[in-house]
Amino acid sequence: MACLSSSQLQKFQEDGFLVLEGFLSAEECVAMQQRIGRIVAEMDVPPHCRTEFSTHEEEQLRAQGSTDYFLSSGDKIRFFFEKGVFDEKGNFLIPPEKSINKIGHALHAHDPVFRSITHSPKVQALARSLGLQMPVVVQSMYIFKQPHIGGKGGVSRRMVRAPAGSAPGTSFLGSEPAWDNSLFVPTPVRRGALVLIHGEVVHKSKQNLSDRSRQVYTFHLMEASGTTWSPENWLQPTAELPFPPLYT
């Protein structure tokens, strides 16, 4: 089981994040990486990445196809690529496994390996020790953090859906302040660690300067008890996949 101690719970409440080394076993890490390898080997590249465009109108259609692909990914397993990995005809310029930025956003629902990890007894015990009454899984991502690729972070802006029929399909509410880099706390972790992050904590991942990918499986939980999911949020539950309860 993975219940937090009183000191761990207090640290999380004070800092907004907590590192749990060794949360995943070596076998679980291998199982996820092997499963991702098979998913990538069998992936269908989205049509908007495979189509050759020559006119401005066709380029607009490509952009719209990319937006639609993203906005409808909340209940599917879909592939999102780094920039500049395709030629003008949609062929890979680098090996496909090195081209992917992330896979999202419903591995937790549709893949048995990731469903098992997400709903494992130790994850459920961790959520209970945090006091979550009715946690649901909102989304999941497998992030590759390819070698020499830039970072991601920040939560002061919300990505929301634009009004129907308008372009682009998403917009941002709020603005990104100039964060003082000296306030960020470096948190290196080992393979198998779990990094627990509160939803309001600003976090980022700096550029991967190594020659190896820095892979992570991440999933987001929401307390459903007494909470209303904003209809403005870009990701929405669907009839086919309501947000699944974490507790089984």
Residue 233 lies in a domain: no
Specify the length of the chain in residues: 248
Mean per-residue pLDDT over the chain, rounded: 89
Torsion on CA atoms 159, 185, 188, 178, rounded to nearest 10: 40
What are the pLDDT digits (tens) for 64-122? 778 889 999 999 999 999 888 888 888 899 999 999 999 999 999 999 999 999 999 99
Q: What is the mean pLDDT of residues 165-185?
A: 80
Instruction: In whole angstroms, give the CA distance from residue 12 to residue 126.
Output: 12
On whether residue 229 sits in a domain, the answer given is no
Res. 154 pLDDT band, cuts 50 70 90: very low
| Residue 34 belongs to some domain of the structure | yes
pLDDT bucket at 10, cuts 50 / 70 / 90: very high
Strand partners, 135: 223
Over 70: is that where the pLDDT of 52 sits? no
Q: Cis omega before residue 105 (within 30°)?
A: yes
Label residue 136 by pLDDT band (50, 70, 90).
very high
Q: What is the pLDDT of residue 103?
A: 96
Residue 237 lies in a domain: no
Take residue 187 and report the two structure tokens written for it: 């948190």
Whether 162 is in a domain gets the answer yes
Name the nearest CA neighbour of 138 among 201, 230, 202, 204: 230
Whether 31 maps to a domain, the answer reads: yes
Instruction: Tally the domains of the chain.
Output: 1
Evaluate if residue 54 carries a pLDDT over 50: yes
* The residue to which tokens 């945090």 are assigned: 130
Q: Is the Cβ–Cβ distance between 119 and 246 less than 8 Å?
A: yes
Here the tokens at position 23 are: 């949360």
| pLDDT top residue among 243 and 152 | 243
Q: What is the pLDDT of residues 221-230, one digit of tens each?
A: 999 999 999 9
* Distance between CA atoms of residues 104 and 152, nearest Å: 16
Summarize the confidence of residues 26-40 as an average pLDDT: 98
How many Cβ atoms from other residues are within 10 Å of residue 55's Cβ?
8
Instruction: Output helix, strand, coil percentages for the chain, rounded to the nearest 5.
Output: 30, 20, 50
At 74, which CATH number? 2.60.120.620
Q: What is the extent of the structural domain holding 79?
A: 6-223
- Terminal CA-CA length for the chain: 15
pLDDT, average across residues 5-19: 97
Contacts of 11 (CB under 8 A, 6+ apart): 18
